[in-house]
Amino acid sequence: MTRTHTAFNRLNLSDPTPDDILGHASGLLRSPVFLEDRAHRLIAFADSGDNAAELVARWRELSVRWGSEADSSYDRSTGTLLVSVRTRDDQWGRVVVPLGHDPSPSERLVAHRTADALALHRLLEADHHALEWRARETLLDVLYEQQYDGEDDVLARCRAHGIQLEGQLLVGGCVRLRKMSDAKTRTSATEVRDSLAWVNRIMRNHHLPGLAGLIAPGQIRLLLFGPHEKALEKTMTRFAEHCRDDEFPAESEAPVIGFGSTTVRVGDVRRSCDEAGDVVTAARAAEPQLYYRLHNVRLHGLLQLMQEDSRLQTYTERQLLPLMRLGTAESDLLMTTLRTYLDLGRNKAATARALHLSRPTLYGRLDTVQRVLAVDIEEPQTALSLQFAIHAHDIISSAD
């Protein structure tokens, strides 16, 4: 028993996470070890190698059957040891150890030291919701990385955490904090965790159904859900509004928020989240708005995503190089004329008005463009190719 005390004393000095504590206990007990809250929702667990999936699938049913004893108990029918987790006078959780046999004194000691370590961790946490949020972040990682045997398996795990995804419409999201995500900004680990806590508080305080997890400094992954499209649209709008109104303290501008396509399958969560990340990246070239969807970013969004691809640079040069080789002033003048003409659907009258030119001056410039490029800009496929190339040129030039 002295070894158990020593092991946990060392563990507590290492600033362990709840996952570290449960993993340590699971290794000592050679059994899965679970942590639940008072509402019988699974918060976290560690599996020593045994299959915990069956217990997770039936978690609420079993937890209610075990009752809510004030301190500790043992359910002989299932061979399960239960130890409450307390901070001061608040019993906020319970350690559950399905041993499958009557616990020995040393096994009881490990379970009680596990509960003590979890209680200490909660006392040291600035926000008592942090443990729940970490559990939800882990669950989002499981969904995103598809670390499950099948949809039934992960849906059961979600239910055990108090999250009902069956029959729900799902959408992946991404939040980019402009300053923090800038590579030139020095950001501490505490600020990064605070940014995730900020998103979680918005969802908790305004009762928005969803999960959140970190991607990188200044980038937060989301999964929002609702019973139908209208409800999900309302959730996305309310989330974006609160992010705008309740600014993260370290930021001076509202974050960029994007969402992917909706789905009813948990197997599509990764695709929707990746789409949301692409939307946020592409939104740099889009008009400012509350949040962005795939249809908002259009051609400029596609080009924004492709700007690092050398093939785009090659294509652009192949289409526009004769114009680019002209003197800077003449090249800019003709590029502007061509861009405006193509964007206005090759409408000469509208182009002349937009550029404040006389018709003869515009016609002269367009003739020069055709002569330099040696193409017919009125031919539809040629016009489309040039429009794509000139917008790609704009994107590449702005990134240099």
Query: Is there a domain that residue 159 lies in?
Result: no
Query: Do 249 and 339 lie in a common domain?
Result: no
Question: Which of 79-101 are b and which e, b meaning 16 or more Cβ less than 10 Å from the residue's Cβ?
Answer: ebbbbbbbbeeebbbbbbbbbee
Question: What's the confidence (pLDDT) of residue 121?
Answer: 79
CATH number, domain of 349, equals 1.10.10.2840
Query: Is there a domain that residue 272 lies in?
Result: yes
Query: Is there a domain that residue 72 lies in?
Result: yes
CATH number, domain of 170, equals 3.30.70.270
Query: Do 301 and 358 lie in a common domain?
Result: no
Residue where a domain stops, chosen among 286, 306, 326: 306
Question: What's the confidence (pLDDT) of residue 12?
Answer: 79
What is the average pLDDT across 77-85?
Answer: 89
Judging by DSSP bridges, how do beta strands 219-226 and 210-216 pair with one another? antiparallel
Q: How does pLDDT run across 168-205, given as a tens digit for each residue?
A: 999 999 999 988 888 777 888 888 888 999 999 999 98
Strand order in the sheet with 169-176: 210-216, 219-226, 169-176, 256-263
Query: Is there a domain that residue 43 lies in?
Result: yes
Q: How does pLDDT run across 270-328, given as a tens digit for each residue?
A: 999 988 988 888 786 567 889 998 777 766 666 766 777 788 888 888 899 998 888 88
Query: Do 176 and 299 lie in a common domain?
Result: yes
Query: Do 365 and 241 lie in a common domain?
Result: no
Average pLDDT, whole number, for the chain?
Answer: 86
Q: How does pLDDT run across 374-383, given as a tens digit for each residue?
A: 999 999 999 9
Residue where a domain stops, chosen among 306, 330, 347: 306
Give percent of the chain above pLDDT 90: 38
Which residues are bridge partners to 211 per DSSP? Answer: 223
Q: How does pLDDT run across 247-258, given as a tens digit for each residue?
A: 888 788 889 999
Query: Do 17 and 118 lie in a common domain?
Result: yes
Query: Do 72 and 182 lie in a common domain?
Result: no
Residue where a domain stops, chosen among 272, 306, 340: 306
Give percent of the chain above pLDDT 70: 93
Query: Do 96 and 213 lie in a common domain?
Result: no
Please state the domain count of the chain: 3
Instruction: Please state the separation of Cα 391 from the chain's center in Å.
Output: 30
Query: Is there a domain that residue 251 lies in?
Result: yes
> What sections of the chain are H helices per DSSP?
2-13, 18-29, 53-57, 59-66, 105-124, 130-145, 151-160, 189-205, 229-245, 269-282, 294-306, 310-324, 328-343, 348-355, 359-373, 380-399
Domain range for 273 is 166-306
Query: Is there a domain that residue 137 lies in?
Result: no
Question: What's the confidence (pLDDT) of residue 358?
Answer: 92
Residue 130's pLDDT band (boundaries 50, 70, 90)? Answer: confident
Query: Do 173 and 284 lie in a common domain?
Result: yes
Query: Do 27 and 96 lie in a common domain?
Result: yes
Query: Is there a domain that residue 242 lies in?
Result: yes
What is the average pLDDT across 26-36?
Answer: 90
